[in-house]
Amino acid sequence: MTGFLGAAEEYLALRRSVGFKLTGAGPLLSDFASYLASNGAETITTEVALTWALRSPSPSQAAFRLQTVRTFASYLQAIDPRTEVPPAGLLTDPGRRSVPYLYSETEIASLMAAARALSPALWAATCETVIGLLWATGMRIGEVLRLDRSDVDFDTGVLTVWETKFNKSRHVPLAASTLSALADYDRHRRKSRLCPDPPSFFVSMAGRRLHYRGFSTAFIGLLAATGIPSVPVTRRPRIHDLRHSFAVTTLLRWYRTGEDVQALLPRLSTYLGHADPASTYWYLSAAPELLALAAERLEPTEGQES
């Protein structure tokens, strides 16, 4: 350990190297490091982090201070296992992003298996295919629900998302397995002989366009049926967290396979329909493992100067 201040400087350099500006985090972590030193702290604990954060008279600023420490502590825990990471949601600010729940592949498989057990058969197929599409593409749930049959091109393997968030349209290329699953669902829906036959790709039990409320109710039931999450968390996993999970999983795969993540980030931003790459950079702080992998990229190789 090089001391809290030195560790904070290394952490800030790492995150700035992957695109974060962190203009406010620098002074805060410097102050926090001084606070730890003045109190003789040997490691970060939830108690000392919370006490320091609450020195701010503003609830919003206190929440920001604690979140700054949380991210730093996640990084530091890989160096010093004694480090405590304050629980998410301990101090909340309604104006800030919630920490996402990151689904595992096992959990997604369990959700889709539970969906297959629903009835009637078309409803089971609808729920299973929607979950699979969200996991495989990172699309927003609203984008999936608005899909028409004409938006799915089985010849080219591309979805067209029209006038979505920020009034942008985009094309979403599909993996062969995802396209096959959509084709299976398309055949299932057509065999159901719904009357009237809606233009929407995904349909409800009434044979009309699938709406958020109906799917959300089913999704909450599937979470309960599968016991997800399997460990205590501060809030229930959301449908939108499937999008977060897709982004983080993609970034992890790129890091693990040695891809040039910096060069590929703008492509991921376009694929997800973000207004600018800055929104995509946020995912680099969503999982401590991502920061650890990014740190490995910055370590000098043998024979290079540090």
* pLDDT tens for each residue of 137-154: 999 999 999 999 999 999
Tell me if 271 sits within 8 A of 139, measured CB to CB: no
Question: Hey, what amino acid is at 118?
Answer: L
Which residues partner with 153 through β-bridges? 158
Give the CA angle between residues 188, 193, 196 to the nearest 5°: 125
Could you tell me whether strands 170-173 and 152-153 are parallel, antiparallel, or unpaired per DSSP bridges?
A: unpaired
Residue 274 among the catalytic residues? yes
DSSP structural state of residue 166: G
When pLDDT is cut at 50, 70 and 90, the band that residue 196 belongs to is: low
Q: Answer yes or no: is pLDDT of 163 > 90.
A: no
Which residues partner with 35 through β-bridges? none
pLDDT value of position 24: 75
pLDDT value of position 115: 98
Residue 283 among the catalytic residues? yes
Residue 168 among the catalytic residues? no
- Can you tell me which residue has the tokens 């065999």? 191
Tell me which CATH code domain 100-306 carries: 1.10.443.10
The domain spans of the chain are 1-96, 100-306
Catalytic residue selected from 70, 146, 244, 274: 274
Tell me if 164 sits within 8 A of 143, measured CB to CB: yes
Tell me if 293 sits within 8 A of 31, measured CB to CB: no
Query: Distance (Å, rounded) from C-alpha 216 to C-alpha 199?
Result: 21
Catalytic residue selected from 96, 165, 190, 211: 165
When pLDDT is cut at 50, 70 and 90, the band that residue 193 belongs to is: confident
* pLDDT tens for each residue of 239-274: 999 999 999 999 889 888 888 887 888 888 888 888
Catalytic residue selected from 65, 140, 189, 244: 140
Q: Spell out the residues 6+ positions from residue 121 whose beta carbon is closer than 8 angstroms to its own.
A: 188
Residue 140 among the catalytic residues? yes
Q: How many residues does the chain have?
A: 306
What is the per-residue burial (b if ≥16 Cβ within 10 Å, else e) of 75-89? bbbeeeeebebbebe
More confident residue, 260 or 127: 127
Phi/psi of residue 151, each to 5°?
Answer: -85, -10
pLDDT value of position 236: 76
Q: Answer yes or no: is pLDDT of 189 > 70.
A: yes
